[in-house]
Structure 1
Amino acid sequence: MAHEWQQWGECVIAKERAWVDGLPILGSIWLIGAIADRLWFAIDQSVPAWDQADYLTGALNYWKALQAPQWFSGEWWTSFWMLSSKIPPFVYISTTPFIGLFGAGADQATLVNLLYGAVLLASVYGLGIRLFSVQVGLWAAGLCLLLPGLYAIRLDFLIDFPLVALVTLSFWCLTMWWLASDETWKVADRWQPQATPQPLTDIAQASAILRFQSFGGAMPMRVMPWLWAAAFGVALGLALLTKQTTLFFLLTPIVWLGAVSIGKRRWIKLIQLVFGLAIALYLCFPWYRTNWLLILTSGKRATIDAAIAEGDPPLTSLAAWTFYLTELPRSVSLPILIIALVGLVLYWKRAVVSREFAIVKGRLVTSVDYGGLRHRGYRQDVYAAWWQSVRWLLIFLVGAYFLCSLNVNKDDRYIAPLLPVLAILLAQGLVLFPDRLRLFRWWAVGLAALLMGLGLVPSGMVPPLSDTYQHRAVLADNWHHADVVNDIIQTEPYLTSTVGVLPSVPEFNQHNLNYFGALRNFQVYGRQVGTNVRQVEQDARSLSWFVTKDGDQGSIRRPEAQSILTAAIAESPEFQLQNSWALPDRSQLHLYHRTVPTVQVKPGTGESAKVRLEQVRVPNQVAPGQPMPITYRWSGSWQELRSGLVLLTWHRDNERWFHDHAIALGNLQPSANDDTAQFQVVERLAALPPKTAQGTYTLKATYLNRETQETYEIAVPDLRLNLAANAPAPAPQEPDFVTQLRSLATKMPTGMKELSVIFEEINRLNQYDPVQDYVAQARQILDYRLQQEPQNREFAYGLALTNVLGRRVEPAIAALETVVKLDPTNPNAYAYLAFVNLYDFRPKAAQAAINAALALNPNLPELHTLNAVSGLMQGNLVQAWQEFRRNN
């Protein structure tokens, strides 16, 4: 028995170390894939579509932020996580080194996929070895290059391929942790090398003893499960920082192993699992904590609304649950699928028919190459180990399939993280295919490779194949994004510009124009407008640049609004055609510019660094309560102009109203010129006098530096503004964004009935100002104003709103505490304070505000909703249940 045990043990050790022998082949597989991918990118000249361009811009945003990091600043970290509020940012962050090394182009950014490709192949190889053999690991890695569902996303800059790699890495680490059983080192402690080996009744125990011997002591065996649990936690945390749908794939195996640990009272394993999950939570918590509300509110639009718009089948239909099953042949290549399934079925049938199929319950063990050794129960052990490995893969695959199908929004690439694990099962089927028929195995792989090639070559070189994935390279193609951006920058070299983009086709849309603008130092932004009929006129009055297109307009949510705005811009005397270009689809692209720009900047004269107000032009008489045209002409050094907020107070006796804003509306480029150079800025804006204003007003101006908080008075030209109710109404104009935001803030005391209107308008303003700088301007202005007038309730509400919009939690709470002091009889003020405290997970502080509000108005429905949430956060389930029943 001792000799037999030793011979068998040597075979186990050989397998433990055999993975090293396959590394050169694995590296060759990765290199072949890398060369093929880069060759495809060299041929392809297409422009990024919607998602690709959006993700590329996200990577540029993080690259820009990391040029001057402030590692020890909490405010910097908050702004860092807010750069991507809806999509987890790990892919963006991991791309920044490639941008720094190779450049900011789309092809350069996709180099990050080589890194994730290496992670994927290593993870698949590791899983294949651990569950089956080196041969299976290598075949599975090779299949990952050929599966259409994987190579289609590998050739784009999408978060899906990195997600595939990180989910597979997490599953590998989870598997290795479970196999590194906490009980194996107990066996090792009891075993003495010089003692006579005892008969082994468990493959895992024998393997554990030999692994113990190879590590040379008991302590490494005690540590290994903890190391794998930590590795799993890191991988899971990074996967959750890549996409929330990570849980669709890993939740089932995690719950399964947790349940097994509890059921078998393996408390050490349970502690290790919790340890790994805690590491994952630690890694991803800062981003989720900062953005959790936007994640929830955008979830409906990204799933339910998108599913309705795309015509996805409802969950009550059979099609919803068979959608991915019917797509499976296209995702894995039909030849490979057929041959692999035949191999699996033949092996399973042989195991069942021979009645040597044994199931070892409760333990996942690996199949072992016995090297020809035969002993009693040999075949049963092999089949049992094989079935345990297959069952573990099926737990992952079935659970992932069910949870992905439960998502109403269906797309082939949403289930891509399932494919590498499926590739391991398919590779096992290919390996198990009878040796006498091995030609069919290579025939399947060769045909899959041929189909992949035919689906990637440029259009026109081969006829299209209907049932295969096609991600064809595009030859020379110019959709003139760079020309549009160049034209805008040449026309307004000192300004940051936002372009209203009307078409939305894959080759030209708001996202890829925005990306090309980001490549030019973020000087041009593209935003989609014309999506709401009620806002068409505001869209036309709020932007100075628009792009329209003839022919196919693409995926437009509201075609009627888009066509109205397109016609209005083309026919309006306020716009002139700046340039036109012929497009590859034989249509025309048109760039329009406002005839009289809202802001003009040109070099000036003088030596004073301080800002001067050289001219103010107003109508002879204007009606109160209506936007009135007003022109300011400022001059000064570039630094002072770029950093300047101007506090403009129109006053008459004890009455006053304000037209505060940033010089040039905050659109001066940060590094366009020498800071001491003199410039002149002309602003053609619309102010908004209050409805109660009457009589003659004069102007007082104060300069506030946004960076240093320095202030000084600005001399004002001698002028008078006459407001009269019987004055003729001016032509419709849009007030500047800061004025609109302050006007919206005055509606806050009325509560929920106005709150939805406020945020609808803010969403519109955010389209016009892509970086939401108008919010930061308003916040600094109102903070200064409130310091000067601490009892001004309007300033307090406005400051609270701007802090909430900026997700500045501590300042928002402080501002709302000021609000409740200045408006102590308004339950809505307490409700706002309670909400922000709940947002920051402070249920006790929120409860105090809720109680005060309920004392003022116990019939306000929103208070009871907040009370239910507060009770839930505090663990008071009775309170939460009572409030839930009350609201339903």
Structure 2
Amino acid sequence: MSYFNHYPQRKDYIILLIIWLIALAIDRTWLFLDESIPAYDQSAHLTVALYHYKVFQNFNIFSGDWWLSLWQLTPSYRAPFVYICTVPFLMLFGRGSDQASLVNLLYTAMIILSVYHLGNFLFNNRKTSITASIFCLLFPILGIIRTDYLLDYGLTAIVILTFTVLTIWKDSYIRFSSWGLTIVLGIGIGLIMLAKPTGIIFILVPSIWTLISFIKKRRFTKLIQTCLSLMIAWLICHFWYGVNWLTIITSALKANQVGKGEGDPSATTIAGWLYYPQMIPESIGLPILSVSIGILLVYLIKYRFNTDLISVNLHKSARIWLLVTLVSSYIICTLGTNKDIRFILPCFPIISLILADLFNLIENIHFDRLRLTTLVLSGIVLLNNLFPLPLIQAWGGKHLPNDDARKYPLDKLINKINETDLYLRSNLGVIPVSAPQINEFTLDYFGTLADFRVYGRKLTTNLSRIEQDLQYFSWYVTRENEPNEPGESGETKRKLKSVVESSTDLKLQGDWILPGRDKLRLYHRKNPYVVVQKISNTESGISIEKVEISQQLILDKNNPVTYQITGSWDDLQNGLLLLKWQNDQSYWYHDHAIGLGNLYCGIKCHPEGSFRVKEDLATFVPKTLPLGKYQLSALYLDRRNNKITSLNIPDITVNVTDVGTVEKSPPLDLVTRTSQLAQELQQGKLNNLFVQISNFNQYDPTQDYLKQIEFAGNYHLQKEPKNLNWRYTLVLSQLLQRQVPELIQNLIELTKYDAENPYTYLYLAFVYLYNFQPVQAEPNLAIAEKLKPDIPELKTLKKVTNIMKFLPLQWFSTKE
């Protein structure tokens, strides 16, 4: 009888529903009792999920910009599938970690149903299928992961679902169902690639095996279906990969090196190959493992000289199929340098089927009682891992609920920041600490949870960057009695803490007692660079009320300047000041967003009335400018509609001189800093450039400075198309925002206005290659080589071009 003609009895689904409800009861009870603070990884994942929630507040399926903003939220190998699945639960139930973890109930249902149908198809045995589904409930590792918010559980669900479809599809001959499964298989593969790129390894070998069998048996229809399935998979995931493929590769390579730093055993050692096997007993529970293997041994002994042993061959192909999948996944995972039991989580549904098959090899009343006893014991083992039960401690206590939130009042710290800066987005500098409860990821999550108003960012671990880091944050957090750490990193942390706590520019804003009588201290800048206050002014429109600046500005220095701007909230929040200090022939710009782009009080916060924004900044006078008097002019650019308005300002004239010094100045805004880096880009000096850009992204966690450059640069280049500094500054903005079509067009313009610069052609060729357009890259590399043949990167880019010309990926690229 065909699998598709076999309809499971209704009571099977009732049993599966009961299994799911038991999982729901256990998981939600644990979460009800737990008041822990999410650790590093969990906090990072929850924060990204909240950003997906924020993007979906303005859902627009027909907007290319909306889709780009969605894909850009996950530039690393941590793909968006799980986060997107979480959004409906956040919308329906709230934005907390418990609400986010509700998505795991969906994944549990997927795993239970997939394992059941896979077991039915392979073994044609309802008892084995239901047993495997029960095992997926009882395995301690799956029970622990179900109460966490991590990518691995969602990946496990989509992998086992896709593997089930692959298994059924490869042997399906009915025309309608076969083509339907082809589509579902393509969707499944695409979603695996959107869940975690490395997830494909769990179905890689069985997929290749299936394809080889199709070729050997000349099953041309299946080969056509295979191509269709892969095309569907690519259509689903290629937009995300197209935007992020380079950062996905680099972040994955970086993550793979983490294991070396953590001391994970190498695949070249016996310890490396035994790493995962030795964790299996505690991951699946000793009762299930020992009884399943025991029944297998009894079965083999019982039928050793009996021809009935032949009956075991009835499911030989099914067992080989599962074992090949399991062993191949284990080998590939072991070859990686970074090891964790989570990384082989998609193997456990396969293990559940293999063990369920062994578990039910012998049918009689005595073994039925043994099986029932084993399931009860396994349930106790699971509960003992999750709850503080007075049972065998060697089997339990792995993942108990706790009350960290009461001991570590991070929500109070975040509230203190928001109460102080009612109308500002705040960036909190965090000295790297070893505690899982207090770190930049966790503080960032709590700040994001508070309506996206506070960001937690790690301060430097490099001694040479301490002074710069301590200029660009207005808030800092330190912890008393942090354990001493050896080496430069430890020295940097101690110096940072000492400098913060002794700084005369900072004041203690609040402190809280932690466990062990430690103290958490919050510091705030006494004179913040941006201050916002509500005023009673009823005048409409933007106005620069006051500009405070020295009459003598020093060439090639950061010169302090204070701007005071008034207007309505929406106009201030969406406004860009285009400031120009000029004389008859020369000028310099000081363009920036009002409040440096940090005016914010919540997603739906749009207060009425007028506000005053005071900015204490610095303006840099380029050393190439002639000395003399310069006058300020100002324009207002509305980011909502690109409308330009001329501003009436006080008559401000300064004298630029090369004599004198500036005693103390605020740091330069990031638009000006990026403009300075553009000169290094023009000269091909990239090493310092990207180090500094990484710093800037810490100082402006929303990277709004890139948007400011985009608006200002596009405006100025309409009037000054030959302004090379603005063009190269705009290149940096477009590159970092991955605006490929605009970046290509800008670089093409640069090849006209900076035609003798080989780096311009090199950058254009690189972007073409990034966009999988090797044919367009080739002539630009040739020009760059002609202008300067000794550029080190030329040889590499030429090799990449030659390789890409033979890859089909370019067929899917976005052409100009």
- Band of TM-score, shorter chain: over 0.9
Kindly tell me: are residues 14 and 406 of structure 1, through their superposed partners in 2, closer, same or farther at Cα, counting changes over 3 Å?
A: closer
After TM superposition, give the deviation of residue 423 of structure 1 in Å. 0.6
After TM superposition, give the deviation of residue 708 of structure 1 in Å. 1.2
After superposing the two structures, state which structure 1 stretch, 570-579 or 690-699, moved more: 690-699
- Residue equivalent to 2:622: 690
Report if aligned partners of 2:385, 2:395 keep a CA contact under 8 Å in 1: no
Report if aligned partners of 1:609, 1:676 keep a CA contact under 8 Å in 2: no
Question: Structure 1 residue 125 and structure 2 residue 113: aligned?
Answer: no
Report if aligned partners of 2:592, 2:671 keep a CA contact under 8 Å in 1: yes
Kindly tell me: are residues 25 and 796 of structure 1, through their superposed partners in 2, closer, same or farther at Cα, counting changes over 3 Å?
A: same
After superposing the two structures, state which structure 1 stretch, 663-672 or 234-243, moved more: 663-672
Report if aligned partners of 1:496, 1:524 keep a CA contact under 8 Å in 2: yes
- Residue equivalent to 1:189: none
User: Which SS does the other structure have where 2:455 is aligned?
Assistant: strand
2:221 to 263, 268, 277: 268
- Residue equivalent to 1:448: 378
Report if aligned partners of 1:58, 1:92 keep a CA contact under 8 Å in 2: yes
User: Which SS does the other structure have where 2:527 is aligned?
Assistant: coil
Q: Counterpart amino acid of 1:480?
A: P
Report if aligned partners of 1:632, 1:682 keep a CA contact under 8 Å in 2: yes
Once residues 653 and 147 of structure 2 are traced to their aligned partners in structure 1, the CA distance between those partners, rounded to angstroms, is 64
Deviations 1:693-742 (A, max 9, x none): 43332212111111111112222323333333231243364211111111
Once residues 590 and 63 of structure 2 are traced to their aligned partners in structure 1, the CA distance between those partners, rounded to angstroms, is 33
Report if aligned partners of 1:344, 1:428 keep a CA contact under 8 Å in 2: no
1:573-592 map, 5 Å = 573-592=504-523
- Residue equivalent to 1:45: 35
Report if aligned partners of 1:148, 1:469 keep a CA contact under 8 Å in 2: no
1:397 to 306, 321, 326: 326
- Residue equivalent to 1:519: 449
User: Which SS does the other structure have where 2:6 is aligned?
Assistant: helix
Question: Structure 1 residue 738 and structure 2 residue 671: aligned?
Answer: yes
1:470 to 398, 401, 417: 398
After TM superposition, give the deviation of residue 434 of structure 1 in Å. 6.0
Question: Structure 1 residue 875 and structure 2 residue 803: aligned?
Answer: no
1:329-348 map, 5 Å = 329-348=281-300
- Residue equivalent to 1:94: 85
1:407-486 map, 5 Å = 407-433=336-362, 435=364, 436-458=366-388, 462=390, 465-466=393-394, 470-475=398-403, 477-478=405-406, 479-486=408-415
Q: Give me the TM-score of the superposition, normalised by structure 2.
A: 0.94
After TM superposition, give the deviation of residue 466 of structure 1 in Å. 4.2
User: Which SS does the other structure have where 1:167 is aligned?
Assistant: helix
After superposing the two structures, state which structure 1 stretch, 313-322 or 778-787, moved more: 313-322
Once residues 807 and 401 of structure 2 are traced to their aligned partners in structure 1, the CA distance between those partners, rounded to angstroms, is 59
User: Which SS does the other structure have where 2:539 is aligned?
Assistant: coil
Once residues 657 and 391 of structure 1 are traced to their aligned partners in structure 2, the CA distance between those partners, rounded to angstroms, is 73
Question: Structure 1 residue 321 and structure 2 residue 273: aligned?
Answer: yes
1:680 to 587, 593, 612: 612
1:95-110 map, 5 Å = 95-110=86-101
- Residue equivalent to 2:635: 702
1:593-632 map, 5 Å = 593-632=524-563
User: Which SS does the other structure have where 2:521 is aligned?
Assistant: strand
- Residue equivalent to 2:70: 80
1:112 to 103, 110, 114: 103
Segments of structure 2 that go 5 or more residues without pairing to the other structure are 809-816
After superposing the two structures, state which structure 1 stretch, 131-140 or 667-676, moved more: 667-676
Kindly tell me: are residues 255 and 554 of structure 1, through their superposed partners in 2, closer, same or farther at Cα, counting changes over 3 Å?
A: farther
Kindly tell me: are residues 335 and 652 of structure 1, through their superposed partners in 2, closer, same or farther at Cα, counting changes over 3 Å?
A: same
Once residues 141 and 778 of structure 1 are traced to their aligned partners in structure 2, the CA distance between those partners, rounded to angstroms, is 55
Report if aligned partners of 1:451, 1:468 keep a CA contact under 8 Å in 2: yes
Q: Counterpart amino acid of 1:340?
A: S
Question: Structure 1 residue 548 and structure 2 residue 481: aligned?
Answer: no
Once residues 685 and 494 of structure 1 are traced to their aligned partners in structure 2, the CA distance between those partners, rounded to angstroms, is 19
- Residue equivalent to 2:264: 312
Q: Counterpart amino acid of 1:81?
A: W
Once residues 98 and 562 of structure 1 are traced to their aligned partners in structure 2, the CA distance between those partners, rounded to angstroms, is 39
% identity of equivalent residues: 37
Q: Counterpart amino acid of 1:335?
A: P
Once residues 562 and 249 of structure 1 are traced to their aligned partners in structure 2, the CA distance between those partners, rounded to angstroms, is 41
User: Which SS does the other structure have where 1:441 is aligned?
Assistant: helix
User: Which SS does the other structure have where 1:288 is aligned?
Assistant: helix
User: Which SS does the other structure have where 2:275 is aligned?
Assistant: helix
After TM superposition, give the deviation of residue 238 of structure 1 in Å. 1.5
Kindly tell me: are residues 432 and 15 of structure 1, through their superposed partners in 2, closer, same or farther at Cα, counting changes over 3 Å?
A: farther
Report if aligned partners of 1:497, 1:525 keep a CA contact under 8 Å in 2: yes
Report if aligned partners of 1:120, 1:169 keep a CA contact under 8 Å in 2: yes
Q: Counterpart amino acid of 2:400?
A: R
After TM superposition, give the deviation of residue 512 of structure 1 in Å. 1.9
Report if aligned partners of 1:342, 1:433 keep a CA contact under 8 Å in 2: no
User: Which SS does the other structure have where 1:432 is aligned?
Assistant: coil
After TM superposition, give the deviation of residue 626 of structure 1 in Å. 2.1
Once residues 17 and 231 of structure 2 are traced to their aligned partners in structure 1, the CA distance between those partners, rounded to angstroms, is 33
Question: Structure 1 residue 250 and structure 2 residue 203: aligned?
Answer: yes
Once residues 528 and 861 of structure 1 are traced to their aligned partners in structure 2, the CA distance between those partners, rounded to angstroms, is 33
Once residues 551 and 240 of structure 1 are traced to their aligned partners in structure 2, the CA distance between those partners, rounded to angstroms, is 44
Report if aligned partners of 1:622, 1:730 keep a CA contact under 8 Å in 2: no
Question: Structure 1 residue 713 and structure 2 residue 704: aligned?
Answer: no
1:658-807 map, 5 Å = 658-669=589-600, 677-693=609-625, 694-731=627-664, 733-751=666-684, 754-807=685-738
After superposing the two structures, state which structure 1 stretch, 522-531 or 432-441, moved more: 432-441
Segments of structure 1 that go 5 or more residues without pairing to the other structure are 1-8, 183-220, 358-379, 878-888
Report if aligned partners of 1:136, 1:431 keep a CA contact under 8 Å in 2: yes
Kindly tell me: are residues 642 and 143 of structure 1, through their superposed partners in 2, closer, same or farther at Cα, counting changes over 3 Å?
A: same
Deviations 1:768-790 (A, max 9, x none): 11110011101111111111101
After TM superposition, give the deviation of residue 289 of structure 1 in Å. 1.0
Deviations 1:10-67 (A, max 9, x none): xx89992345441111111111111111111111111111111111111211111111
Report if aligned partners of 1:248, 1:400 keep a CA contact under 8 Å in 2: yes
After TM superposition, give the deviation of residue 575 of structure 1 in Å. 0.4
Deviations 1:653-696 (A, max 9, x none): 31211111001001111667656621111001122211234333
Once residues 553 and 244 of structure 1 are traced to their aligned partners in structure 2, the CA distance between those partners, rounded to angstroms, is 37
- Residue equivalent to 1:186: none
1:60 to 50, 60, 67: 50
Kindly tell me: are residues 670 and 43 of structure 1, through their superposed partners in 2, closer, same or farther at Cα, counting changes over 3 Å?
A: closer
Report if aligned partners of 1:738, 1:778 keep a CA contact under 8 Å in 2: yes
Q: Counterpart amino acid of 2:39?
A: A
- Residue equivalent to 1:278: 231
Kindly tell me: are residues 713 and 841 of structure 1, through their superposed partners in 2, closer, same or farther at Cα, counting changes over 3 Å?
A: same
User: Which SS does the other structure have where 1:597 is aligned?
Assistant: coil
After TM superposition, give the deviation of residue 620 of structure 1 in Å. 4.5
Q: Counterpart amino acid of 1:677?
A: G
Q: Give me the TM-score of the superposition, normalised by structure 1.
A: 0.87
1:139-218 map, 5 Å = 139-180=131-172, 182=173
After superposing the two structures, state which structure 1 stretch, 480-489 or 603-612, moved more: 603-612
- Residue equivalent to 2:424: 495
Q: Counterpart amino acid of 1:709?
A: N
User: Which SS does the other structure have where 1:746 is aligned?
Assistant: helix
User: Which SS does the other structure have where 1:17 is aligned?
Assistant: coil
- Residue equivalent to 1:290: 243
* Count of residue pairs brought into register by the alignment: 800
After superposing the two structures, state which structure 1 stretch, 540-549 or 581-590, moved more: 581-590
Once residues 684 and 101 of structure 1 are traced to their aligned partners in structure 2, the CA distance between those partners, rounded to angstroms, is 42
2:436 to 495, 506, 509: 506
Report if aligned partners of 2:422, 2:601 keep a CA contact under 8 Å in 1: no
Report if aligned partners of 1:609, 1:640 keep a CA contact under 8 Å in 2: no
Q: Counterpart amino acid of 1:870?
A: T
After TM superposition, give the deviation of residue 477 of structure 1 in Å. 3.6
After TM superposition, give the deviation of residue 487 of structure 1 in Å. 0.7
Once residues 147 and 483 of structure 2 are traced to their aligned partners in structure 1, the CA distance between those partners, rounded to angstroms, is 26
User: Which SS does the other structure have where 1:589 is aligned?
Assistant: strand
After TM superposition, give the deviation of residue 553 of structure 1 in Å. 6.0
Report if aligned partners of 2:386, 2:396 keep a CA contact under 8 Å in 1: no
Report if aligned partners of 1:523, 1:669 keep a CA contact under 8 Å in 2: yes
User: Which SS does the other structure have where 1:633 is aligned?
Assistant: strand
